[in-house]
Amino acid sequence: MARKVKGTPSPVGWRRRLVRAPIHLYHWHLGALLGSRICLLNHTGRNSGRPRQVVLEVSGRDTQTGAYHLASGLGPTAQWYQNIQHNPQVTIQVGRHRLPALAHPMTPEESGRAMAVYAPRHPRTAKRLMAICGIETDGTPEDYYRIGHDHLPFVEVTPEDPSIR
CATH number of the domain where residue 31 is located: 2.30.110.10
The stretch 107-111 carries a mean pLDDT of 97
pLDDT tens for 17-54 read 777 788 989 999 998 998 899 999 999 999 999 999 99
Would you say residue 50 lies in a domain?
yes
pTM value is: 0.87
Going by pLDDT thresholds of 50, 70 and 90, the confidence category of residue 5 is low
Would you say residue 95 lies in a domain?
yes
Would you say residue 161 lies in a domain?
no
Closest CA to 95 of 36, 157, 27, 158: 36
Q: 83 burial class (0-12, 13-18, 19+ CB within 10 angstroms)?
A: buried
Please tell me the distance from the alpha carbon of residue 161 to that of residue 130, in angstroms, as a whole number. Answer: 34
Q: Find the domain containing 70 and state its range.
A: 3-156
Going by pLDDT thresholds of 50, 70 and 90, the confidence category of residue 57 is very high
Going by pLDDT thresholds of 50, 70 and 90, the confidence category of residue 112 is very high
